[in-house]
Amino acid sequence: MLGQSERPTPAQIRRAPKVLLHDHLDGGLRPSTVAELAAESGYDRLPTTDTAELGRWFRDAADSGSLERYLETFSHTVGVMQTREALVRVAAEAAEDLAADGVVYAEVRYAPELFQERGLGLDEIVEAVQEGFAEGERRAAADGNRVIVRTLLCAMRQNARATEIAELAVRHRDAGVAGFDIAGPEAGFPPTRNLDAFEYLRRQNAHFTIHAGEAFGLPSIWEAIQHCGAERLGHGVRIVDDIKVHDDGSAELGRLAQYVRDRRMPLEMCPSSNVQTGAAESIAAHPISLLRRLRFRVTVNTDNRLMSGTSMSEEFEKLSEAFGYTLDDMQWFTLNAMKSAFLPFDERIALIDDVIKPGYAALRSEHLFRTPGRA
Ligand SMILES: O=c1[nH]cnc2c1ncn2[C@@H]1O[C@H](CO)[C@@H](O)[C@H]1O
Ligand SMILES: [Zn+2]
């Protein structure tokens, strides 16, 4: 069909309905907000207070080739998010920014234990973030951009508070907290360190994903799935270590890769972030293309919009540029994400039928009937 193989324009990518499963609240602040919150709270360790320079600083500093060094940049965002008001503001702005970028459903994650430096309680932190997202959803809707935001609570792998945070997630599950995750440095902190938390969550019929296969390889992915019971994998890029591609392009899957594909295990891929931490050489060399071709349940995500200077639209633009992805490919990634969300089944179906499919159909028909020569 005409237009089917054409790459969408940046404007079309932005208007296309998108679903985001992997985005960190403390990795998505506007540079101007970091500077303003620092000034208000007396945080004096920012490398610069010039907004444009600050945005660049985060990107450059995160461009380190190592996950550990990448994570050091979070001390500045976490540093300015220590009050109730700051948390409400950051969450509200995140919802607005995502909605303006054409995201219709997002799961935004953060680690409540990081925001206690000035004495906030864990429940208070969760309530502030939920309040901010509700406010941001309202403001976005008033601007004509509808987004639904749910949250995931992370426990930090290097701390030993996973069970406490898992209980917090379950306590707030009817108030917008959709699930749980573990984040932070991967090497040296295998997911099985937090087995009690994962067993508790399973007893509670609660959802969780695990950052695995980013800075460490197959054993981390295997533990996350087979010992811990993760429903999704944060990144999971290193699953390619279990796939052999022959000269004729045919692929041979090892048992773990086979299992991940057979079970339709969602992979929360974050291309730009992976290039920055060294998990992938470049966007063009990112395993997402192979995994998409082999029809793993791949999703596209931002990880940290501030540290990568990115957005969902930018991630799709880069992928479209590298791999020629069309609107059909975008819809495929988006449906994968919506199917994999920690939202009740009936709500997922409603978003697919009422928002996502009609959104892509409308863009495709524009594509077909547009005047030749006009973008
Ligand atoms: O790609 C990642 N891998 C592992 N941990 C991460 C990544 N991005 C952010 N965080 C960590 O997650 C915490 C909660 O949001 C952040 O503070 C950061 O330390
Ligand atoms: Zn992440």
- What pLDDT score does 366 carry? 84
Which ligand number lies closest to the CA of residue 233?
Answer: 2
Q: Give CA–CA dist 363/207, Å, rounded.
A: 33
∠ CA 160-165-168 to the nearest 5 degrees?
A: 155
Q: Give CA–CA dist 305/283, Å, rounded.
A: 16
151 domain-assigned? yes
Report yes or no for ipTM above 0.90. yes
372 domain-assigned? no
Cβ–Cβ < 8 Å for 84, 120: yes
Q: What letter does residue 266 receive in the DSSP assignment?
A: -
Residue (of 296, 287, 359, 295) closest to 327 by Cα position: 359
CATH assignment of the domain containing 361: 3.20.20.140
374 domain-assigned? no
Edge-first strand listing for the sheet containing 267-269: 209-212, 232-235, 267-269, 298-300
355 domain-assigned? yes
| Any atom of ligand 1 within 6 Å of the Cβ of 154 | yes
Cβ–Cβ < 8 Å for 324, 44: no
Q: What is the domain range of residue 302?
A: 10-367
263 domain-assigned? yes
**Total domains in the fold of the chain:** 1
What kind and span of H or E run contains 202? helix 195-203
Distance (angstroms) between ligand 1 centre and the Cα of 27 equals 8
Backbone angles phi, psi at 64, to 5 degrees: -105, -15
Q: Give CA–CA dist 163/232, Å, rounded.
A: 19
| Any atom of ligand 1 within 6 Å of the Cβ of 215 | no
342 domain-assigned? yes
Q: Give CA–CA dist 84/131, Å, rounded.
A: 10
| Any atom of ligand 1 within 6 Å of the Cβ of 233 | no
pLDDT tens, the chain, 375 aa long: 435 678 999 999 999 999 999 999 999 999 999 999 999 999 999 999 999 999 999 999 999 898 988 999 999 999 999 999 999 999 999 999 999 999 999 999 999 999 999 999 999 999 999 999 999 999 999 999 999 999 999 999 999 999 999 999 999 999 999 999 999 998 899 999 999 999 999 999 999 999 999 989 999 999 999 999 999 999 999 999 999 999 999 999 999 999 999 999 999 999 999 999 999 999 999 999 999 999 999 999 999 999 999 999 999 999 999 999 999 999 999 999 999 999 999 999 999 999 999 999 999 998 676 655 554
